[in-house]
Amino acid sequence: MARMKVLFHVNETERWQRALLNIINFINDAGQENVDIEVVANGAAVSAYADRCFSPKGSCRAAAGCGNANENDIIDQMSKLAEMGVKFAACRNALRAQSLDENTLPSFVTVVSAGITEIARKQAEGYAYIKP
């Protein structure tokens, strides 16, 4: 089977769970070794990367002042997928619009100068586009 390249575009926070489930099902079906996956978040969706409860060491429930287990689960899932080779990108314009400091993002997140440019470039490289 030819290698499959897929870009997922997420621009609303409520779409993250669906996007991550899509990715998990896709990897299980096609095989981790056969896929190149990139997720590009812009708009409101970049806030999921900046969950205040995230820490490289601890879980949400262990963090002080954190009551939103759901958000942290998303970061946990992203982190596991990143370890499996999934790339996560954040649009710098969107981060600025929400006053999010890109230096505080999880290390698996790459900041791109503009989400749309990244999405267009990947499609030009042969990536399929999917909007969960």
By CB under 8 A, name the binding residues for its own copies.
2, 4-6, 9, 11, 18, 22-23, 25-26, 28-30, 42-43, 91, 93, 113-117, 119-121, 123-124, 126, 128-132
Report which of 80, 60, 76 is spatially closest to residue 68, judged by C-alpha positions.
60
Shortest Cβ 85–its own copies spacing (Å): 16
Shortest Cβ 91–its own copies spacing (Å): 8
Identify the DSSP state of 105.
Answer: S
The one-letter code for the residue type at 81 is: L
Q: Which is nearer to its own copies, 9 or 109 (CB)?
A: 9
The one-letter code for the residue type at 132 is: P
Q: How far is residue 127 from each of residues 26, 86, 118, measured CA to CA in Å?
A: 14, 13, 11
Q: Which is nearer to its own copies, 30 or 100 (CB)?
A: 30
